[in-house]
Copies of this chain bind each other. A is one copy, B any other.
């Protein structure tokens, strides 16, 4: 996958650490990286005892290092965000074997003395991707060359990252020139670079979005992972800064038809799809007057096949836009809009 020229690149391939995860859901960070970037994973390891597998070779850190691994990827998210004590020894074993650690956890591993001391002793490094090495800068508002697509949503956590990854991959498969641009920790682990945009100081949100998708050749598409929603009462500022700084030529609206209200906030109804598209286009036109909506991506995981087909067809008809589920089907109807 192409890298962001001016952002630091994470070391890979990875040995995926799975701790004591017993479900793929617990191990979704590792599973996501293995699915979207199979060439970047050489094996997996974890704690002794029953554990989920990603189907990768079971390797010790030393064995992984011998097979070319450059880092341990923390492939699980702990309950409650704190690092469990029992994960420390196997992660330190990675540093001792000459591997860096790459982590998307909220806890900053580099600030834990045991990790810092061990890394210093063995000449390795701890990379906390939520806290990027990007030097903050204010946006410029200058129009950039190349083309950009941003996935936007009616809410958080309903498929904006997956949709962007699927579109970028399919664009490349069909001969297009495209790069996935990551704005959250899992996306960064998959892409190998990016900026966790919600962790940036408020003044620099749009500046981060500009840095993330620099000038490019005229037919190149940056496919940018959206964050939050303009309708989310907690995080809309992040979404607007990302929209302005991304200057998208195209947006894809992501939605979960089983949700009626913002996840966790029952007093906030979701907007209609028309309203969500309209507001994103209105606000996005401030930095790119040519912005248009090229499709809708529905997360239909709660529906059976018959319902899924009906909802996709009806929504597409109502809006007059390609309407797909990138997990259950193809993103081709959207990619058709992006290729010459």
Contact residues of A with B, CB < 8 Å? 138-141, 197-203, 205-207, 230-231, 233-242, 244, 262, 265, 267-268, 279, 282-283, 286-287
Instruction: Tell me the nearest residue of chain B to A265, going by C-beta.
Output: B141
Chain B residues with CB under 8 A of A233: 139, 141, 206, 244, 286-287
CB distance from A193 to the nearest CB of B (A): 19
| A231 CB contact (under 8 Å) in B199, B268, B286 | B286
Most buried by B among A231, A235, A244: A235
Instruction: Tell me the nearest residue of chain B to A237, going by C-beta.
Output: B241
CB distance from A144 to the nearest CB of B (A): 13
Chain B residues with CB under 8 A of A230: 240, 283
Cβ contact within 8 Å between B207 and A202: no
Copy number in this complex?
2
Chain B residues with CB under 8 A of A279: 282
Chain B residues with CB under 8 A of A197: 202
Instruction: Tell me the nearest residue of chain B to A200, going by C-beta.
Output: B202
**22 pairs, CB–CB < 8 Å, chain A vs chain B:** A138-B234, A139-B233, A139-B234, A141-B233, A198-B203, A199-B202, A200-B201, A201-B201, A201-B202, A202-B202, A202-B238, A205-B238, A206-B236, A230-B240, A231-B286, A234-B244, A236-B244, A237-B237, A237-B239, A237-B242, A238-B241, A240-B240
Separation of A141 and B268 alpha carbons in the complex (Å): 9
Instruction: Tell me the nearest residue of chain B to A197, going by C-beta.
Output: B202
Cβ contact within 8 Å between A236 and B240: yes
| A267 CB contact (under 8 Å) in B141, B237, B244, B262 | B141
Separation of A67 and B234 alpha carbons in the complex (Å): 46
Cβ contact within 8 Å between A237 and B238: yes
* Contacts A141-B262, A197-B202, A237-B238 known; 9 new A-B pairs at CB < 8 A: A139-B234, A141-B268, A199-B201, A199-B203, A206-B233, A206-B235, A206-B236, A233-B286, A236-B286
Instruction: Tell me the nearest residue of chain B to A228, going by C-beta.
Output: B203
A237 in contact with B240 given A198-B203, A202-B205 (CB within 8 Å): yes
